[in-house]
Structure 1
Amino acid sequence: MTTPPDHAATPPGEEGGSVAAEGDPEHPLTLSVAAVARRLGVAPATLRTWDRRYGLGPGDHTTGRHRKYAPRDVARLELMQQALLRGASSAEAAEYALTATATATATVASPATPSPPGRRALRLRGANRLAGGLARAVVGLDQAAAQTLLADAVEADGVLTTWTGVISPVLAAVTARREPSGAGAEVSHLLEECVRATLARVAPIVTEPRNHRPVLLACAPGERYDLPLHPLAAELARRGVDVRNLGPALPVTALVAAVRRTAPAAVVVWAHLPRYADPAVIAALPRTRQQFRVLAGGPGWRRGVVPHPAERATDPAAAATAVERAVCHP
């Protein structure tokens, strides 16, 4: 096994080196706070909170030294994550992790270990580690951890990659687990609010736009799911495009009024569900002296229902490319 660069122990066999017991803080597999955070897909601040509130910290308490997590410390954190994924509160998950019996390399509870509290875990098929970290945060209703992880992901990989690779898989898993009775709604609501808050912070105010006329974004009448408009608006702003996001369920009369008032360069009409993808909405857009492009955005618009001359864009990435091409490179 290759030792990561941030492991501080001296390799066995070198002069002055010694092999400590696996549970000892001097074991060569000890990890820093940052390394454990990366491994678990959580923010370092979350690990410090778990240490301060629940005693789930590293076993190395030597004064004046960087604290290191031994394998047994990491195993406890993995057990806490398992409980959080099942819907346990942070306090319940911590109690479970502290009382459960785990091996130094455990990632799940052994047969002799009590079952983790809470509901079943989110199923993230093919998702990356950041998506797993976001899932753990929102199931545990840890808003600070979720927003920190999202902000770090956007800074590292950009808005659209974060939306596609991190946010969308968790949204799908939360939706699939939500019960018809409404149980689990708190998780989806927290996730959506964290996404909106993060994207609002990363979207710059465009004072010198590349487009001379604005771009209007709006959901079709009746369509209340406007979350995909937020990564689209944020990405376009980061590309220097002036955008006006008019939000969910905009009446046709309001959309027509906005078009007449702003003389936009492009209009995106978003429909997540097919029942809201009404071609009559696009047909109702007024003809103005300055022509504008129309995009039918979202998976609700099926092929064959998009009236000419509107274009079809199924996701925020496709819509961002089409809008930028239309208004910046006509």
Structure 2
Amino acid sequence: MLTVAAAARRLGVAPATLRTWDRRYGLGPGDRTTGRHRKYGPLDVARLELMQQALLRGASSAEAAKYALSAPVPDPGSAPSRPPDAPLSPGGGRGLGLHAANRRARGVGRAALAMDSAAVQSLLADAVGADGVVATWDEVVRPVLAAVTGRWEQSGAGLEVSRLLEECVRAAMVRAAPVVTEPRNHRPVLLACTPGERHDLPLHPLAAVLAQRGIGARQLGADLPLDALVAAVRRTAPAAVVLWAQLPRYADPGVVVALPRTRQQVRVFVGGPGWERGVVPQPSERIDDLASAADAVERAVC
């Protein structure tokens, strides 16, 4: 018999999520002999797993609950598996256009809409463990971020979902980055946003991939003032600097030109949608997707 907290840990969701499923759909503990402190039995947990499996396939909460309550319950002693007839919503969740995304992305989308940060982080950790940082970023995170942003732009609702998702992604990427105690590069790599640019999330998967390759990088975060960037270059004599600009108004060529000259050459890379139509001054180089960016930085510093 499991308490609410123990059952939530087993499924990788928040206890509040289980209480909501109990209150709205009747998927609660079956043990009614202990007063207020009811506990989940094996059959209760099996139905919760059916609910979760259906949600991860993109079903709405109501569809998933209906399925979990009506489907044959598997043997509680066996390992749970995704049933082939679990309901599947082609949109991957109400309000998010994720019909073309993979199963992991749809699951993250539904968990984000439910504001279930524990489930989002659990799904992201599974994706990183199974497919790696690059595939998780390209095939899971980017589609869900685009869908959440599009929903917010169209309806004006869901900013809280976007913020929660970004924080979960940031935490997942930090966990995916090993501590590099003996880096392959003798001089560091600096990762920073251009002055004014506050969208630094894409720098975190890049830092994680570089760390996995044994490359030491130093994150300088969002909206770094020019004088602070110049001071950082002078103090660290980096092998490479990556400057990210999400919006065109922050893709300022003057930032690249203002970087100080050091005794040893500094390779400068600019990335992000902001630079796509702007001027990229020499000798800086434009980087595009995550995989090619990591490859370019690695070639430059190792």
TM interval, short-chain normalised: 0.7 to 0.9
Q: Give 1:121-270 correspondences, 5 Å limit.
A: 121-179=95-153, 182-270=156-244
Q: Is 1:276 matched up with 2:247? A: no
Shift of 1:182: 4.5
- The offset of 1:237, in angstroms, is 0.7
Counterpart position of 1:35: none
Indicate how the Cα distance of structure 1 residues 47 and 108 shifts in structure 2: closer, same or farther if over 3 A, else same. farther
CA distance in 2, matches of 1:241, 1:289: 21
Tell me by how many angstroms 1:206 deviates: 0.6
- Amino acid in structure 2 at the alignment position of 1:107: P
Amino acid at match of 2:193: C
SS in 2 for 1:309: coil
State the shift of 1:315 in Å: 2.8
CA distance change for structure 1 residues 185 and 229 in 2, over 3 Å: closer, same or farther? same
- Partners of 1:79 and 1:257 in 2: how far apart? 47
Note the C-alpha offset of 1:51: 8.9
With 222-231 and 271-280 compared, the bigger mean Cα shift is at 271-280
**Partner Cα distance (1:196, 1:157) in 2:** 17
Q: Normalization by structure 1: what TM-score?
A: 0.70
Match of 1:97 in 2: 65
In the aligned structure 2, how far is the partner of 1:56 from the partner of 1:65?
A: 11
Q: Which residue of 1 aligns with 2:27?
A: 56
Q: Secondary structure at the match of 1:223?
A: coil
* 2-structure distance, mates of 1:201, 1:76: 25
Over 3 Å counting, the alpha-carbon distance change for 1:56 and 1:77 in structure 2 is farther
Please report how far the alpha carbon of residue 150 of structure 1 lies from its aligned counterpart in structure 2 after TM superposition: 0.5
Q: What's the counterpart of residue 265 of structure 2?
A: 291
**Letter of the aligned partner of 2:275 in structure 1?**
W
Q: What CA distance in whole angstroms lies between the structure 1 residues aligned with 2:284 and 2:272?
A: 13
Pairwise CA distance, 1:311: 0.7
Q: Which residue in the other structure is 1:45 paired with? A: 12
3-state DSSP class of the match of 2:190?
strand
Distance change >3 Å, CA 57–CA 305, structure 1 → 2: same
Give per-residue Cα distances to partners, 1:162-216, cap 9 Å, x unaligned: 0000000000000000047752111001000001111111211110000000000
Shift of 1:141: 0.5
In 2, Cα distance between equivalents of 1:76 and 1:205: 34
- Report the alpha carbon displacement of residue 159 of structure 1 after superposing the two structures with TM: 0.8
Equivalence for 1:107: 87
Give the Cα–Cα distance (whole angstroms) in 2 for the partners of residues 148 and 76 of structure 1: 14
Query: How far apart are residue 272 of structure 1 and its match?
Result: 1.1
Give the 3-state SS of the residue equivalent to 1:158 in structure 2.
Answer: helix
Contact 2:248 2:278 in 1 (8 A): no
Asked if 1:301 corresponds to 2:279, the answer is: no
Distance 1:157 1:141 in 2: 24
SS at match of 2:274: coil
- 1:120 deviation in Å? 4.0
Q: CA deviation at 1:308?
A: 1.0
- Please report the TM-score for the alignment, with normalisation by the length of structure 2: 0.76
- Matched with 1:24 is none
When residues 129 and 80 of structure 1 are mapped into structure 2, their CA distance, relative to the original with a 3 A threshold, is closer
Cα deviation, residue 132, structure 1: 0.4
In the alignment, structure 1 segments of 5+ residues that lack a partner are: 1-42, 85-92, 110-118
Report the aligned-residue RMSD.
3.7
Instruction: State the shift of 1:69 in Å.
Output: 5.6
Quick one: distance in 1 between partners of 2:194 and 2:20? 47
Higher normalized helix content (fraction of residues): 2
Secondary structure of 1:312's counterpart equals strand
Identify if the C-alpha distance between structure 1 residues 47 and 223 changes in structure 2 by more than 3 Å, giving closer, same or farther.
closer
Structure 2 residue ranges without an equivalent (≥5): 1-9, 31-40, 73-84
